[in-house]
Homo-oligomer: A and B are copies of this chain.
Amino acid sequence: MSDSGGATASKYLAISGGVGGAKLALGLARVLAPHQLSIVTNTADDFDHLGLRICPDLDTVMYTLADLNNKEQGWGLEGETWNFLAALRNLGDETWFQLGDRDLATHLTRTAMLNQGLTLSEVTRYLCTKLGVNHQVFPMTDSRVATQVLLKAGGKLSFQHYFVRDRCQPEVVGFRFDNIDAATPSPAFQEVLHDPQLAAVIICPSNPFVSVDPVLSIPGIRNMLRDVAAPVIAVSPIVGGQALKGPTAKMMKELNMPQSAVSVARHYADLLDGFVLDHEDAELRPVVEDMGIATIVTSSVMITLKDRIQLAEDALSFSRTLTRGMSESS
């Protein structure tokens, strides 16, 4: 019914947020050739800080693929130093956002290039080239979009204030993506969604509410993902009711959803052909399949590089068993 499952369809699109998504993105990058993999990254976390444009998810994906990332913490650079931040503290500035000395070079370069009129896509391509990232990494949009976290206590917080400064402590009731209605998908994002070679879309195990939803909320994207010939699969960021990383499970509780991989599948149900569960959640397969979504069960907790590669291979194999309108479990 389409060429998405054919021998010539060999391109994959990964949708990623930060640390959790970047793990699978790295696995995919080790399995797929540069021309076979595009990674679109959430930019609703981006913010201006001390005059710098900071793009946490883009940077995490870039640094991870460049093998420059701090393997312990997931974000930031390996061997980073913090002398700038110490001096900044001495000057009385806000220092809740961790700006490493080396990391600053990325932010200054990006900010200077944006101020010269280049788009975030163009800047990202430049940075990737310089950092030695060969696979295509691009922002979801070149428009400014900003996640606002709506609080149970009333009012809202900008995302980084919620996430970093306040360590996700405040209870949330929802999220708003400022300017999303005026945002357009970045050129590379549009291109890959229209590429007849597209074999599958893989939603990485990122936070559905604040990492993936912004991508899906860009006008037209959700419909394009529904209509695209290639199957769409997701890897659950929730295993055994816990988030592998970050506040996903906590948010589910506050949003009155079951803290379960099923909630993730349900969140994407209108898009999904396949869903990847961890062995620990094997008993959830029938519930997900009842939504008309195929499943596989594998090891989805990525500790080592080998885990990342294995999960990438499992997800790719799974996607190759799926054709749209004919979803079935492998």
Residues of A within 8 A of B (CB): 50-52, 77, 80-81, 83-88, 90-93, 101-106, 108-109, 111-112, 115, 127, 130-131
Contact = CB atoms under 8 A, between A and B. Distances in A.
A8 to B, nearest CB: 37
Given A91-B105, A91-B127, 17 more contacts: A51-B111, A51-B112, A51-B115, A80-B83, A81-B81, A83-B102, A84-B105, A87-B104, A88-B108, A90-B130, A90-B131, A91-B106, A91-B109, A91-B131, A92-B130, A93-B108, A93-B109
10 contacts: A51-B108, A51-B112, A84-B101, A85-B105, A88-B105, A88-B108, A91-B105, A91-B106, A91-B130, A93-B112
A93 B87 CA distance: 23
Contact of A83 (B51, B81, B91, B92): B81
Q: Which of A83, A130, A131 has most chain B Cβ within 10 Å?
A: A83
Count of chain copies: 2
A68 to B, nearest CB: 9
The 3 closest A-B pairs by CB, nearest first: A87-B105, A87-B102, A83-B101
Contacts of A115: 51
A124 to B, nearest CB: 12
A105 B100 CA distance: 12
Nearest to A105: B87
A254 to B, nearest CB: 34
A130 B92 CA distance: 7
Contacts of A50: 108-109, 112
A207 to B, nearest CB: 28
Nearest to A132: B90
A84 B87 contact: no
A91 B80 CA distance: 16
Contact of A101 (B81, B90, B106): B81
Contacts of A130: 90-92
A51 B52 CA distance: 9
Contacts of A51: 51, 108, 111-112, 115
A130 B88 CA distance: 10
Given A91-B127, A92-B130, A84 B109 contact: no
